[in-house]
Structure 1
Amino acid sequence: MNRSLYTLLLHLALPVICLRLLWRAWRAPAYARRVGERFALGLPPLRRGGIWVHAVSLGESIAAAPLIRELLQRYPHLPITVTSMTPTGSERIQALFGDRIQHCYLPYDLPWACARFFRRVQPRLALIMETELWPNHIHQCARQGVPVVLANARLSARSARGYARFAGLTAPMLAELSLIAAQTEAEAERFRQLGARPGCVAVTGSIKFDLQVDAALQQRASQLRGEWGAQARPVWIAASTHAGEDEIILAAHRQLQTRFPEALLILVPRHPERFAAVFELCLREGFATARRSCQEAVSTQTGVLLGDTLGELLFLYALADLAFVGGSLVENGGHNLLEPAALGKPLLSGPHLFNFLEIANQLQAAGDLLQVRDAGELLGALQQLFAEPERAAQMAAGGLGVLRANQGALGRLLDGLERLLPHAPA
């Protein structure tokens, strides 16, 4: 498949794309807002000639935050335009940066929408976070001589096999990138094999290791646990869960309460459209459940706190003693393990971590990651860690050591950007 065929198929798929958007809007009303932006219609006023950063969804928005802060500091005279594709990513970016940046949804990868978006933004540099590759947007930048950087680039062996099946499309697209800042050498080699220019591929590490946690966050969490009367209460979090995981987690929690009757679970579904369904599931399973979005009080009778808010995940991690990171009991590939590690939490996950394999291996080698396959194994790990606080503390220390040993990727990435943006005022 080449880019022309891809574009034709994308146009033919427009009715399906629109129906899917309607379906998502039915499940999560936020998708019904700002629909025109997805076709480069009704875009907000945008200053031209700056840096464009694309962070597709919530995870990439979180990862991009330290980079955006550095760009604002290093290039104060250039407008920073940040795009996303999901309401959760959009809300996180706006909550973090407000009017310090320009923001809109990225239009679909249709040539006419790409051209209209490019005319409005006219960036001097384009930064795409991780693996969100759109052939027509990248080609539009390349045609206009705008360097395109794939920042914090990751590419699992599974994804690489998928890209290889469409070499006629992906090889020219990767060849148009000016810099691929890969997280690991294995991923860098996969990009080279798929058609990226070898001289444009560099191993910079993951900027997720450069996460800095505000000390005030821990203080706020400690204060809230005090208000709950839960300083000595066993509290664990299951975060970024997907369909099929919540039942397993609740089953483990029910058994955990037979040994630790006061145990509290903070359950945080990954997608907002699942908040209501997971709340109903908790009630059906017989748990006294409080909803964070309603600021409902957590009492000694509360068994589950549903984290049904946006932009609070770090704070919810800080409230817990142990952290399970979801998207890993099902074959989703896992989510960011480094946020709870940076907060000094012992980590648990399922076995499906192919999106974060290198990070998971390092954490496991340092002793700060226990992988479980089902409710029974999850229960065993929770019981052990709550019964052995010394081991939990050792795990947490191992995770913090991994973070410290891998920091510096953000600086290496910024050095690469300066070579592509030499005349920008700093």
Structure 2
Amino acid sequence: MEPAYRERLGERLGRYEYPAPQPRRLLWLHAVSLGETRAAAPLVAALRAQRPDLRLLLTTSTATGWSAGHALLRPGDVHTWLPYDTPGAVRRFLRHHRPVMGVLMETEVWPNLVHIAAREQVPLVLANARLSPKSLRQGERFAWLLRPAAERFLRVLAQTQDDAQRLRDMGAPFVEVCGNLKFDITPPKALLERGQRWRARLQRPVVLAASTRENEEAPLLAAWRELPQPRPLLLLVPRHPQRFDEVAGLVAQAGFSGVRRSSWGEGDPPEEAARADVWLGDSIGEMALYYACADAGLLGGSFEPLGGQNLIEAAACGCPLVLGPHTFNFAEAAELAVQARAAMRAADIRQGVVYAATLAIDPQRNGWVDRALTFASRHRGATERMAERIVGLLPAVL
């Protein structure tokens, strides 16, 4: 269990040490983890621009989401953990905060949460909604539980037409396609500049393995060993912080010299880091830096049947990606990226490693960079569409 999660366990039970806010004044937004919280940032900004009186009740479910959520807060806002999906915890959460409406991000359909919100007269919107074919099949096994929850959403704002149809099949009655908020995330300029400076100082190609998941790193390192010398620098960034030590051990077991990003703080990489085989990206909130530092990337979560991670941030940073065969969590974005030649597909991790290492030194790499940036910019606009729909459902006065 994450330490921050354990420290505020009472909030997961719907028990709070702060006084109840004024009823029906807060717009509740739930973003489960880091990716959803970062995607929510432009939406929150757009909502505040359209409704300056907005006060936010932000809930998150992970330590990384909690940390990122603080940047979204203003005086008068409330930030707490999402309660466990039990009737008592959810009821206490809703009666303590009395939000005027709830906005749940992406896939957060919790049966008790949705059911009790309806009983407490808290309308819900599912924003940036997605539903993969695999999730739909799994949901159909529990249709008796999930269909009534889907039916209770006031609006569902879907990422794609395919997502919208699957959500309708799940029972959601009012579904509209608005696009993907993650296309509207602007990478921090300071992180991009730092990553580019690091790459220039290295004077060697860099391949990023971005947001890798359990069971992906060992095969990746084995495939990396098969590359001819001199190899690029491998920048390995696990998806979950609690696995940093485990992955550092895998790097050592594979016989590579490794350096942890955290070892040099805010400065530039020292000389010994420049000579290492592998950098372990053991930091939070620096993916834009890592993408900017890399010449090419491998998409974590896509080389095991896990559905892949968000590939849009890589494109916005100008980092061409090699995708594995499993990208069902972002199926349309992945297919569009491949069609736009902003990314390429590999059959397995061994092929992916070869493709990424080759792309990192490809004389035509700048063309891939340009196409990635164009792909990212072409699909912007979901933020304003979703903000307009949500504001249109709010009462005139909060």
Q: Is TM > 0.5 for Structure 1 vs Structure 2?
A: yes
Equivalence map 1:221-370=2 (5 Å): 221-226=195-200, 229-230=201-202, 232-256=203-227, 258-261=228-231, 263-295=232-264, 297=270, 298-370=272-344
Distance 1:404 1:317 in 2: 17
Q: Counterpart of 1:417 in structure 2: which amino acid?
A: I
Q: How far does residue 266 in structure 1 lie from its aligned partner after superposition?
A: 1.1
User: What SS does structure 2 have at the residue aligned with 1:407?
Assistant: coil
Distance 1:210 1:370 in 2: 22
Distance 1:387 1:156 in 2: 35
59-68 vs 369-378, which deviates more?
369-378
Q: Counterpart of 1:164 in structure 2: which amino acid?
A: E
134-143 vs 117-126, which deviates more?
134-143
Structure scoring higher RCO (CA < 8 A, sep ≥ 6) equals: 2
CA deviation profile, 1:386-423 (whole Å, cap 9, x unmatched): 33231x22222222222222111111111111220141
Give the direction of change, closer, same or farther, for the CA distance of 1:42–1:144 in structure 2 (3 Å limit).
closer
In the other structure, the counterpart of 1:92 is: 68
Runs of 5+ consecutive residues of structure 1 not aligned to the other structure: 1-24
8 Å Cα contact 1:147-1:420 kept in structure 2: no
Distance 1:319 1:31 in 2: 32
In the other structure, the counterpart of 1:12 is: none
Distance 2:307 2:387 in 1: 28
Give TM-score, length-normalised by structure 1: 0.86
Give TM-score, length-normalised by structure 2: 0.92
Q: 2:381 matched to 1:412? A: no
In the other structure, the counterpart of 1:398 is: 371
In the other structure, the counterpart of 1:165 is: 141
In the other structure, the counterpart of 1:16 is: none
User: What SS does structure 1 have at the residue aligned with 2:29?
Assistant: strand
Cα RMSD over matched residues? 1.9
Distance 1:202 1:220 in 2: 39
8 Å Cα contact 2:303-2:349 kept in structure 1: no
User: What SS does structure 2 have at the residue aligned with 1:358?
Assistant: helix
Give the direction of change, closer, same or farther, for the CA distance of 1:143–1:370 in structure 2 (3 Å limit).
same
Q: Counterpart of 1:251 in structure 2: which amino acid?
A: A
Distance 1:99 1:268 in 2: 31
8 Å Cα contact 1:217-1:315 kept in structure 2: yes
In the other structure, the counterpart of 1:6 is: none
297-306 vs 143-152, which deviates more?
297-306
8 Å Cα contact 1:349-1:369 kept in structure 2: yes
Distance 1:376 1:172 in 2: 44
Distance 2:275 2:372 in 1: 33
Q: 2:110 matched to 1:138? A: no
Runs of 5+ consecutive residues of structure 2 not aligned to the other structure: none
Give the direction of change, closer, same or farther, for the CA distance of 1:179–1:375 in structure 2 (3 Å limit).
closer
User: What SS does structure 2 have at the residue aligned with 1:399?
Assistant: helix
Q: How far does residue 45 in structure 1 lie from its aligned partner after superposition?
A: 4.7
The aligned length equals 390
Distance 1:236 1:328 in 2: 16
Distance 1:338 1:364 in 2: 12
CA deviation profile, 1:246-299 (whole Å, cap 9, x unmatched): 11222233333x3434x2111111111111011011112222211112327353
Give the direction of change, closer, same or farther, for the CA distance of 1:46–1:293 in structure 2 (3 Å limit).
farther
Higher helix share: 1
Q: Counterpart of 2:236 in structure 1: which amino acid?
A: L
